[in-house]
Amino acid sequence: MSGWPFWHVTITVAGDVVPAETIRHGLEQLSHDHPFLLTGRYTADRAEIRYWEEGPDARAVARLALALWEDHRGSAGLPDWQVVGLEVLDRDTFRRRGKVPAEPVSLVGVAPF
């Protein structure tokens, strides 16, 4: 074991419309290929996957996350979609989000968490 921390990753991908069965099957196969996959949500032109990744820092985990869809596209039968969103959170930040009610983002200025 490397001793690196775990990071919570959310990847959003989007592209041309595909049959729902195609994306569902692809996400199911990805969950077998990538054992830390937590959830996969999808529509005909967009998908979001959430999982835990081990790594030394957010930059290294982001690099792995950005490559995940492309790396598994052939083996999992995923559509040729592009990453349109990426979030990498350390464990403490992820846990804090669940404990604190979400406040709307201020349109002017800054606000505390």
pTM of the model as a whole: 0.84
Please name the amino acid found at residue 75: S
Q: Which helix (H) or strand (E) holds 37?
A: strand 37-43
Cα separation of 6 and 8, whole Å? 7
Q: What is the pLDDT of residue 27?
A: 92
Instruction: Name the residue type at position 92.
Output: D
Q: From first to last of its 113 residues, what are the pLDDT tens digits of the chain? A: 468 999 999 999 999 999 999 999 999 999 888 777 788 899 999 999 999 999 999 999 999 999 999 999 999 999 999 999 999 999 999 998 877 665 555 455 555 44
